[in-house]
Amino acid sequence: MMTETVIVTGASGFIAQHCIIQLLEAGYDVRGTLRSPKREQEVRDAIDGAVPGGGDRVSFAYVDLTGDDGWDEAMAGCTYLLHVASPFPLAEPQDESEVIRPAVDGALRALQAAARAGVKRTVLTSSLAAIMYGHNGRERPFDEHDWSNLSGDGISAYAKSKTLAEKAAWDFISTPRNRGMELAVINPGLVLGPVTTPDTSTSMEPLVQMMSGQMPALPRLSFPVVDVRDVAAAHIAAMTEPEAAGKRFCCAVDELWFKDISDIIREPMAAHGIKVPTAVLPDFAVRLFALFRPDLKALLPDLGIERKINNMQIRRVLNWSPRGAEEATLAAAESLVATGVVKAKS
């Protein structure tokens, strides 16, 4: 029997590389997409580090979310598509279309090429940002029936981009011409866990800032956390599980405040000579600092808010047994030291 080929978009990304590693371990051939050949060797080396010789089993195609060139060639011969690529800015952009347009257009380009190539199923990486924002005073946990309210207060460009891109994907699949295609969507929370390269993702930035002295005190922020290895496992399960077609999955475990994250990593990082902040900033101070720090401005709608997630669907349908948030956080911190992103002082 011929080995099935899976195309993974955004192969230089944090989630995508873990997906590629697990696909290779499961015996699939993998084609990764990159915007240019510049990062191909870096990605091969990262994959080799996890799966010896695995870098040689990945082919690469060069496409851009904002352009049509190369998509048909990239998709040719692939059975499954994991569309992971999407912009995730550290700071709120001056023009939100810089984030929204490539997210929406890229999702549609990938799906259109998949339709032309006869791809059996697409798994789209969305986000809890497409589920849990713009709802003030929400008491019950969020689940797969919820969508972020784009007319609500303080919706970031990123939350808009993930919501609109996911809705565009569901609309595409629902048209009569595309009804033979299958779609499943993974909606991760704050993705932690071990990094594979020193080029870290935006989701790791809070840890980097805590460990490198850029965050001298802790804002009152809380996010549902998930380990990147469990996010990748969810993608691969959603790719082949018959019942996953047509479903979206809240992909997170426990909610952690930044103070919880600090408490988890404080002693292990002290062994590396790294001091992490323990003091909690009052909300008014964060709002004041945000006047001078664009990266803080995007966090203001989250101050003091805890959003809980119901993850029963992903556990049941995908037989998902994730690591705890503490294990994900510790693995992330240790890997930041191991890859030299944060320098050990002892």
Over residues 299-316, mean pLDDT: 91
Q: For residue 286, give the H/E element and its range.
A: helix 283-290
Better-scored residue on pLDDT, 334 or 301: 334
Please identify which of the residues 38, 120, 160, 162 carries the catalytic annotation.
Answer: 162
317 vs 338: CA distance, rounded Å? 35
Over residues 106-119, mean pLDDT: 95
Scored b (16 or more CB within 10 A) or e, 81-103 reads bbbbbbbbbeebbeebeebbbbb
Domain residue ranges of the chain, discontinuous segments joined by +: 5-202+224-255+306-323
The model's confidence at residue 95, banded by pLDDT at 50, 70 and 90, is confident
Q: For residue 29, give the H/E element and its range.
A: strand 29-34
**Predicted local confidence at residue 296, as pLDDT:** 75
169 vs 283: CA distance, rounded Å? 37
Residue type, 61: A
**Predicted local confidence at residue 54, as pLDDT:** 85
| Residues pairing with 61 in the sheet | 33
The model's confidence at residue 2, banded by pLDDT at 50, 70 and 90, is low
Strand 222-227 relative to strand 255-257: parallel, antiparallel, unpaired?
A: antiparallel
Active site residue 120: no
pLDDT digits (tens, 9 = 90+) for 272-303: 999 999 999 999 998 998 888 777 777 787 88
| Residues pairing with 112 in the sheet | none
Q: In what order do the strands lie in the sheet with 255-257?
A: 190-192, 222-227, 255-257
pLDDT digits (tens, 9 = 90+) for 121-153: 999 999 999 999 988 767 789 999 999 999 877
pLDDT digits (tens, 9 = 90+) for 208-232: 999 999 999 999 999 999 999 999 9
Q: What is the CATH number of domain 5-202+224-255+306-323?
A: 3.40.50.720
**Predicted local confidence at residue 1, as pLDDT:** 58
Among residues 88, 95, 91, which one has the least CA distance to residue 15?
Answer: 88
Over residues 86-92, mean pLDDT: 72
| Residues pairing with 248 in the sheet | 185
pTM score of the predicted model? 0.95
Mean pLDDT of the chain: 92
Give burial (CB, 10 Å; 0-12/13-18/19+) of 297: middle
